[in-house]
Amino acid sequence: MSSFGDSAEASQFDPGKGPRPLILCGPSGSGKSTLLRRLLAEFDSAFGFSVSHTTRKPREGEIDGREYHFVKDPEEMKAAIARGEFLESAVFSGNMYGTSKSAVDAVRNMGKICVLDIDVQGVQQVRQQDLQPPPLLVFIRPPSLEVLEERLRSRATETEESLARRLETARVELEYGERPGNFDLVLINDVIDKAYEELRAFILPEIQKLKNENADAMKDTRN
């Protein structure tokens, strides 16, 4: 068994079976959190979140295995990444962060759709991995860079400098998102209700499938 990530509990699913993870990607301010909040409000029990690994030190109140799996030795995490145990990883402010495949699997084993909010660089890594079952990749984009700028300004979380940086990154990310084949769904978040309906319709078959599978598993344990 892998030395990294959640211990794999007895699963009701065969390898490669069970709910597919849902990956939401898109420029900062494109509406990922807004759309995810709506999904959770409607289908809370269908979704779960994986616990990431990090080499940064725990902050007060953070518990190992809850907020993050805290890794003391960066060399250990590098080695696990080299062994292919991570779906994606990145370095922020000198600390390593990453999603292990077994952390994603732990959510699948609970019969839930693992939701991941991952940037374009992370998606590029995910696409090089052979995750089973394969994730559903959704790119959420604003109608235009001008609208994105307006939304980021009205969210009032940015300085002029961070705004300019986010818009420049968005330009590059939009190019990647628009390239055919990179995502299973490219969602234009213009009118929020419409965008949500589209996301909902896309994920609904997976939720239905998982409800059926969970019901079957319940029947099996009763028989």
Ligand X SMILES: Nc1ncnc2c1ncn2[C@@H]1O[C@H](COP(=O)(O)OP(=O)(O)OP(=O)(O)O)[C@@H](O)[C@H]1O
Please report, as ranges, the residues that interact with ligand X according to CB under 6 A: 26, 28-34, 151, 155, 189, 191-192, 195
Closest among 56, 89, 51 to 70, alpha carbons compared: 56
CB of 64 to ligand X, least distance (A): 25
Q: For residues 155 and 165, which CB has a smaller minimum distance to ligand X in the complex? A: 155
CB of 34 to ligand X, least distance (A): 3
CB atoms under 10 Å from CB of 186, counted, come to: 17
Q: For residues 136 and 195, which CB has a smaller minimum distance to ligand X in the complex? A: 195
CB of 118 to ligand X, least distance (A): 11
d(CA 205, CA 208): 5
Q: Please indicate whether residue 155 is annotated as part of the active site.
A: yes
Q: Please indicate whether residue 200 is annotated as part of the active site.
A: no
Catalytic residue among 153, 155, 165, 171: 155
Closest among 111, 86, 116, 89 to 101, alpha carbons compared: 86
Q: For residues 108 and 166, which CB has a smaller minimum distance to ligand X in the complex? A: 166
Q: For residues 30 and 55, which CB has a smaller minimum distance to ligand X in the complex? A: 30
CB of 37 to ligand X, least distance (A): 8
Q: For residues 32 and 108, which CB has a smaller minimum distance to ligand X in the complex? A: 32
Q: Please indicate whether residue 59 is annotated as part of the active site.
A: yes
Task: Note the helical H segments in the chain.
Answer: 32-43, 74-82, 101-109, 120-126, 145-155, 160-178, 192-222
CB of 146 to ligand X, least distance (A): 13
Contact by Cβ (8 Å): 25, 138: yes
The 3-class secondary structure across 107-132, one letter per residue, is HHHCCCEEEEECCHHHHHHHCCCCCC
Q: Are strands 52-54 and 68-70 parallel, antiparallel or unpaired?
A: parallel
Give the Å distances, CA to CA, from 95 to 53, 72, 74, 114: 10, 11, 9, 24
Q: Catalytic amino acids?
A: 59, 155, 166
